[in-house]
Amino acid sequence: MTTPADTARIPDPALIESLFRIEGGRARAAVAAMTQSLDLAEEAVQEAFADALRAWPRSGVPDRPGAWITTAAKNRAIDKLRREAQRPERERQSEVVAVSQVASHGPSGGVDEELQLLFTCCHPALSETARIALSLRFVFGLSAREIARLFLEPEPTVAQRLTRAKAKIRTARIPLRVPPPELFGERVPTVLSCLYLTFTEGYAPVAGDDAIRGDLCTEAIRLTQLVHGLVPEAGEVQSLLALFLFQHSRRDARLAFARDGADGIETRGGAVPLEEQDRCLWDRQMIDAGLTHLSAAAAHDRDTRGPYFYQAVIAGAHAVAPTFAATAWTTIVAAYDRLAGLHDSPVVHLNRAIALGFRDGPDAGLRELATLRDDKRLARLPSFAVAQADLLRRAARYPEAVRAYEEALSSVSNEAVCVLLRRRLREVQSAAQLLS
């Protein structure tokens, strides 16, 4: 029988999940740096978490659970290598190193192990999609299912891509390291793409209950700062760091208790839209740091500015506005125009339509949105239905807004966003009834 004292010692499943997300990448990077094997690192970390689930209910959660996981994973890896070392030479895996070397050598020069792993996953011998998928999986700990949602692809397709990428690293004997400076040019762009996608998933998760996955945002910022240290003059690195800091400065204001009147449940982490956020909660120190990086990026020649620069300009315009009504929408629309010229993305065109709706009125935004309706790339994005619903609400076209919010709710998977959409739906339903 489980006693109350025993129950108190059983680790919260949410804690284990959070640790796996936060510490899993660090542990995988540490074991990979030690063994030069992604497969072994993944296996060892999974076994370490299984060990934690068995040990912690008896001993309690350690003071430094991340260090416990990493040490357990390293020990699992060393045990595996010792067993391999006892097999006949012809049966050994080609990538297994001597146990004595593993035990005595770590990452060289004190270079951050996750940064090493990130650059390795972005090796040019791999396809671009493989590089990004591998980085999201091994560095940031996203599951194949989460990566599939980001790529808008079936999960088995992503799983096969990961398997092939790991095999490529193994058979080509690609070393797990940060490359020499002369190779930064071919690696940094993909590294930035991985960091951008990771932060995006943290800032606006596609599915789940959270309005924000702060662990992903924080780690993406940390690694971007390390990349900036390697290439301090790179304008796009400065721009990306500015973008992240502007967005993350609003983290506390984007989270709130939101009561869902339909079922009476108060949900932690309901998404708070920008126009309703308490700007006193914004992190001004983080915003100032973002402005410093954006200014440095703006000093570069205009022709060298990339998409991250204009996204940072947009985020910066929101960050410095004293109120929502004072937002510089003309600056934002102009930045979207520049961005659209660099990157023909359906999301860029969609966000430009939303910005037009604030600059020129909701009817203008709806007209622009109508030009995008036949874009098949947008058909798979729930943000189109959400944008249309919001513009119809602002235009006081309430019966149409009711249908649009119902459509949006059927396509959105993130519960924090659904809480907001259900509130908006009730608002337009009430307004529509008053007009009938």
Residue 311 falls within a domain, yes or no?
no
Cα 14 from chain centre? 19
Could you read off the pLDDT of 77-86 as tens digits, one per residue? 888 888 776 6
Question: Can you read off the two tokens belonging to residue 35?
Answer: 């063994």
The dihedral sign for the CA sequence 51, 37, 93, 132: positive
Report the largest interatomic distance among the alpha carbons of the chain, rounded to a whole angstrom: 83
Name residue 270's beta-bridge partners.
256
Three-class secondary structure of residue 115 per DSSP: helix
- % of residues, the chain, pLDDT over 70: 84
Which residue is it, tokens 């699992």?
76
**Domain boundaries, position 5:** 1-104
Does any domain span residue 19? yes
Angle, helices 128-138 vs 113-121, to 10°: value is 150
Check if the beta carbon of residue 220 is closer than 8 Å to that of residue 114: no
Report the distance separating Cα 343 and Cα 218, nearest Å.
26
Query: Which helix (H) or strand (E) segment is 9 a member of?
Result: helix 4-9
Of 272, 268, 270, 312, nearest to 289 by C-alpha is 312
pLDDT band at 265 (very low <50, low <70, confident <90, very high): very low
Task: With a cut of 60, say whether residue 1 has pLDDT above it.
Answer: no
Q: Rounded mean pLDDT of the chain?
A: 83
Q: Residue 203 has which token pair? A: 């800032």
At 27 the pLDDT is: 83
| Predicted pLDDT of residue 269 | 46
How far from the centroid of its chain's Cα atoms is residue 51's Cα?
A: 28
Q: Which residues contact 203 (CB under 8 A, 6 or more apart)?
A: 212, 217, 247, 248
- SS3 letters for 223-239? HHHHHHHHCCCCHHHHH
How many Å separate Cα 221 from the centre of its chain?
10
> For residue 58, what pLDDT band results from cuts at 50, 70 and 90?
confident
Which tokens hold the place of 1? 């029988």
User: In the prediction, which pLDDT does 16 show?
Assistant: 67
24-57 burial by CB neighbour count: b if 16+ within 10 A, else e? Answer: bbbbbbbbbbbbbbbbbbbbbbbbbbebbeeebe
Q: What is the pLDDT of residues 404-430, one digit of tens each?
A: 999 999 988 888 888 889 999 999 999
Whether residue 118 has pLDDT greater than 80:
yes
What residues does 271 pair with on adjacent strands? 255
Q: Is residue 194 part of a domain?
A: no
3-state secondary structure at position 34: helix
Alpha-carbon span 310 to 335, nearest angstrom: 5
Question: Between residues 6 and 234, which one has the greater pLDDT?
Answer: 234
Tokens at residue 126, please?
């791999």
pLDDT at residue 227 is higher than 90? yes
User: How many domains are there within the chain?
Assistant: 1
Alpha helix positions (H), 172-283: 184-203, 214-230, 235-248
Structure-token pair, residue 60: 């309690």
**CA atoms of 432 and 397, how far apart (whole Å):** 8
pTM: 0.81
C-alpha 247/C-alpha 317 separation (Å) is 11
Say if 424 falls within a structural domain: no
